[in-house]
Amino acid sequence: MQKYQFLNRDLSWLSFNKRVLQEASNTRLPLYERIKFLAIYSSNLDEFYRVRLGTYKRFTELPAEDKDILRENPDAILKNINAEVDRQQNEFGNIFTQEIIPALEEEDIILIRDQSLCEEHHQFVKDFFLDNLLPHVQPILLLKKQIQPFLQNNVIYIAVKLFKKRKKEEEEGAPKSRRSRYAIIKVPSHRFPRFIELPDRDGKHFIMFLDDIIKLRMKLLFPGYKIDSSYSFKLSRDADLLIEDEYSGDLIKMIENSLKKRETGSPSRFLYDASIPKDFLKFLKDSFNLQNNDMVKGARYHNFQDFFCFPNPKYPELEPESFHPLKVDDLQGNKSVFKTIRLKDQILHFPYQSYEYVIRFLNEAAVDPKVVEIKATQYRVADNSAVVNALINAALNGKKVTVFVEVKARFDEEANLRSANEMRKAGVKIIDSIPGLKVHAKLALVLRKGDKKDYAFLSTGNFNEKTAKIYSDHGLLTSNEVIITELKQLFDYLENQTEGYEFRKLLVGRFNLRRSLIELIDQEIQNVKNGHKGYIILKMNGLQERDMITKLYEASEKGVKIDLIIRGICCLKPNKTYAKNIRIIRIVDQFLEHGRIFYFHNLGEELLYLSSADWMNRNLHRRIECAFPIQDKKIKKELIDILNIQLNDNVSARILDGKLNNLPIPINGKVKKIQSQKEIFAYLNKKETASKLRKNRTAKDSV
């Protein structure tokens, strides 16, 4: 039996999504923020089924002797996943019906579900159906084993059971012996809002699901038939692009072909209304050739991610306070970004501080006559990206621009192909994916003529001005010559894929990242053996790689104190004797925690790295990642202060235990409540205010 135990990555992820669901129950939050967390939970779960479940299903089909080589039994894991999802779906339903709906009604917002409609609303629904929906809802009769309609991915369908009317038959029902017919209707939520606002009455606001409007009037779609019952369902399809790592042909063509197949992937989840009768469900299962492990019980309504767009007739009431990112005084006004970072490094904390400075950095590079070349990586960019526009502008201004576009970024493959073509047309040199590797590092390098200073931007998050408003990340603007030299080597590798590069300051995936991290942990172990303090803080999105977890277990056993801030997947199992010095917290709040920070006490000569890499198998073995050191003492202290604020969070943080529970941190009456995201904003605001005051005093003194 192995000495150390590990948590399953997918059950751990479900634990994270349950933490998201907890926020929907958080009465401390504005009502529409709680509704947003329901939508996030649903969207996350949809992606989980599309990306992860297909793998397990393929594993369950392996012969017994092949399953033996797997670390975990896929049948057991799949069973545990389905059981946990079932529990969470029940909790989701309770939160929605028993907490969110009553809270809406207290605000005079009525989501009509089972309530009878007044005459005015009946007429509105009838007119809306006839004037808008009727041309876009085409029923399809199901003839088992004759016609099998293709079910689109994540689209809501209404399954209808009906009987053919007989002549002179009264409207009440049909004999039980009569043969039933079945049909499906696709809900056209791609054309119409999922939620339709009805006329206000008596000071109350009324909203109705698009699906319910169709159900109320669908008898018009089936002349000559008596409708018996109807239930909603949807099918999720396996969306993981199986692109061979060793493939060396036309990768772009292969991805384009794979994208066409994504929406036609194998079923990964058939989500149905749990109240549907067994015979009705069996008919659907047989009609669409589904397997038992495809079937997942749900509630009456599906696609709760549509609640991102749930109407708020009382806006801006019931919403979070509007958030305005802080300005950075050193970079404000008409100051040249280049001149500022020539004097000292600048750290940016998104979304607390504005992303405009990154765009200004790239725009300045695009027009500076001394700039000869710009190199950058692209993983996920915004639609109508200001980053892409800046790079195109640079190329049009005669700069040599080289962009490495990662066309294998899941669910962004098509957008990345599109932006790559747009840049290519403007004269940007595009380097496509490297077979067998993903480039996940977030880097930009600006090279200037002769002995002029070069500049760089290194980040934990994507070059995406839209996600920078909701993702918590850190970016470094620098002119450090050693960092610049090593970035030149890294970009040279991306362009030529030749070996022989050596990195001393940067920790680069495929070169020295994993080895260096192990050495840093080993150094803390050695420090404890020598009678000194050993302390590590690791903040990341996912912790899975077993060798790294084993090294953390070893450090814990030797007496190194370890604090982990892990948002999502965490396969390290706490509450074991070999993990007694390890504490894990998970923070879920208004902004998505996305930054990666690695801190090592190092006998008081503290080392701190920002990184694009989580400690997942993919990041440490199959990706080009970049962790970069923070050498400026003030910036280092600022980041350590931010880490300590998060470690002291007792409002949005939860302790993760060995059973994957998200446990609230106990607060007695005397302890200050600390919500880290608010505290970080206040901390940065205070620092910025103090900086302005110092400069104003200096300016007055000089007069």
Q: Binding site for ATP: which residues?
A: 44, 471, 567, 594
Identify residue 204 by its one-letter amino acid code.
Answer: K
3-class DSSP state of 518: helix
Selection from 205, 199, 203 nearest residue 310 by Cα: 205
Amino acid at site 584: I
Count of C-beta atoms within a 10 Å radius of residue 440: 21
Binding-site sequence positions: 44, 380, 410, 471, 567, 594
DSSP string for 167-221: TT--SS---TTSPPEEEEEE--TTTS-SEEEEEEETTEEEEEEHHHHHHHHGGGG
- SS3 of 229-295: EEEEEEEEECCCCCCCCCCCCCHHHHHHHHHHHHCCCCEEEEEEECCCCHHHHHHHHHHCCCCHHHE
Residues in Cβ contact with 46 at an 8 Å cutoff, skipping those fewer than 6 apart? 154, 236, 303, 305
Q: Which element (helix H / strand E) includes 394?
A: helix 386-396
> Is the CB of residue 154 less than 8 Å from the CB of residue 236?
yes
Residue 18 has which token pair? Answer: 């349950």
**CA angle 615–239–89, rounded 5-degree value:** 80
Strand-pairing partners, residue 439, are 624
Read off the tokens for 281: 């469900």
Q: Active site residue: 302, 440, 474, 601, which one?
A: 440
Output the 3-class SS for 136-164. Answer: HCCCEEEECCCECCCCCECCEEEEEEEEE
Token reading at 662: 């998200």
CB 110 within 8 A of CB 195: no
d(CA 678, CA 683): 9
Token pair of 354, please? 């504005």
Contacts of 238 (CB under 8 A, 6+ apart): 50, 53, 54, 265, 266, 267, 268
Q: Is the separation of the CB atoms in 325 and 354 below 8 Å? A: yes
Question: How far is residue 101's CA from residue 115's CA, in Å, rounded to a whole number?
Answer: 13
Mention every residue, 6+ apart, whose C-beta is less than 8 A from residue 533. 527, 561, 601, 603
CA angle, residues 359, 362, 368, in degrees to nearest 5: 135
Is the bond leading into 74 cis (omega within 30 degrees of zero)?
A: no
At 598 the three-state DSSP class reads strand
Q: Specify whether 440 is catalytic.
A: yes
Q: Nearest-CA neighbor of 525 among 550, 577, 566, 561?
A: 561
Task: Say how far apart CA 646 and CA 668 lie, in whole Å.
Answer: 19
**Tokens 């030749």, located at residue:** 498
Q: Indicate if the alpha-carbon torsion angle 14, 19, 23, 25 is positive or negative.
A: positive
Determine contact, residues 74/8, Cβ cutoff 8 Å. Answer: no
Give the N- to C-terminal CA distance of the chain in Å, as an integer: 76
Q: Which residues are catalytic?
A: 440
